[in-house]
Amino acid sequence: MSDGPHELVVTVIDAAQNAATVLRQTITTNNRSTVSAKLSSDASGAGGPVYAIALDAPTQALMRGVRRTWTRSALTLSGTLKTSTGVPAPGVAVTLRSQHAGEDTSQLLGTTTTDAAGHWVLRAPRGASRTLTISTNSQPPSAPGALTIRQSVRPGLSLRVQPRGGGWLRFSGRLRIAPLGRPRPLVVIQARSAKGWQAVGSPVRVSRSGAYSLSYNGGPRSINGRYALRAIAPSTRLFATATSAIRKTVVR
């Protein structure tokens, strides 16, 4: 039936084939174009339908905040989209966006469409510390109905120590995270002493691939000494502080 006014007539015919009109009324129809739109009678301020995002239990647990290493920073998020009356909403686009601290704009990570039961699944790839926002296409990421998950990511940091003779040591390794950010992060080599961890040499900035290397001479007094060493990458807006495994070496 097309949209607009129509005349509704109800006629009753008895066994003797006598006809009588019992109802004559003008009605107006206003169909919507999509199945999901028919499920909701509410509208947002922009004129679109209003939905509620219900998260599955594993995703709901992430709402308290997520702390992961970079290698485990990929996330799978899922839930069900419902109308304001609690009816599942099929065929609606749901989006996932990411924004790093200090940035004015967000990045689109993915878009999916709810299935017949209103269910959706979205995946965030590995990344640095960020705020993830789940919303529908009819709502901007800043809308009240959008959901946010804050994720803190710690990079992987390796350290290799090579005695070179004459009191020289060569330190090398890699900071594993993407993006690295600008300026690229610093790595500090530390040695353990009776007073705690002390810096060795000057901080070194990683390369575009995250690699670093540093040569250091501890002087004659360090020769034949045994040392416990580690590397530290201080936190930035993109990641939490990273610490390498402790390496023990003898200076030659």
What are the domain boundaries of the chain?
Answer: 35-154, 156-250
Q: Which DSSP helix (H) or strand (E) runs through 249?
A: strand 247-250
Q: Residue holding tokens 């301020």?
A: 45
Rounded CA-CA distance 90/142 in Å is: 23
Spatial distance between the Cα atoms of 99 and 65, rounded to a whole number of angstroms? 15
- Average model confidence (pLDDT) across the chain: 86
DSSP code of residue 61: H
Task: Please give the pLDDT value at position 135.
Answer: 93
* Tokens matching residue 22: 């019992």
Measured between alpha carbons, how far is 83 from 40 in angstroms, rounded to an integer?
6
Burial of 70 (0-12, 13-18, 19+ CB in 10 A): buried
Are the beta carbons of 229 and 246 closer than 8 angstroms? yes
**Class of domain 156-250 (CATH, top level):** mainly beta
pLDDT at 150: 96
CA angle 201, 242, 211 (to 5 degrees): 60
Cα dist from 168 to 94, 165, 213, whole Å = 57, 6, 13
Higher pLDDT pick, 232 / 41: 232
Same fold, 35-154 and 156-250: yes
pLDDT by residue (tens digit) across 67-113? 999 999 999 999 999 988 889 999 999 999 999 988 888 999 999 99
Cis bond leading into 49, ω under 30°? no
Residue 118, CA atoms < 13 Å, CB-side half-sphere: 20
Peptide bond into 183 cis (omega under 30): yes
Q: How confident is the model at residue 37 (pLDDT cuts 50, 70, 90)?
A: very low
Quick one: pLDDT at residue 8? 62
Look at residue 156 and give its three-state secondary structure.
strand
- Beta-carbon contacts of 181 under 8 Å, excluding residues fewer than 6 positions away, are 128, 236, 237, 238
pLDDT at position 67, please? 96
Side chain identity, residue 122: L
CATH architecture group of domain 35-154: Sandwich (2.60)
Instruction: Kindly indicate the confidence band of residue 14, based on its pLDDT and cuts at 50, 70 and 90.
Output: low
List, for residues 142-170, the tens digit of each pLDDT value: 777 899 999 999 999 999 999 999 999 99
Give the residue from 146, 96, 151, 90 showing the smallest Cα distance to 122: 96
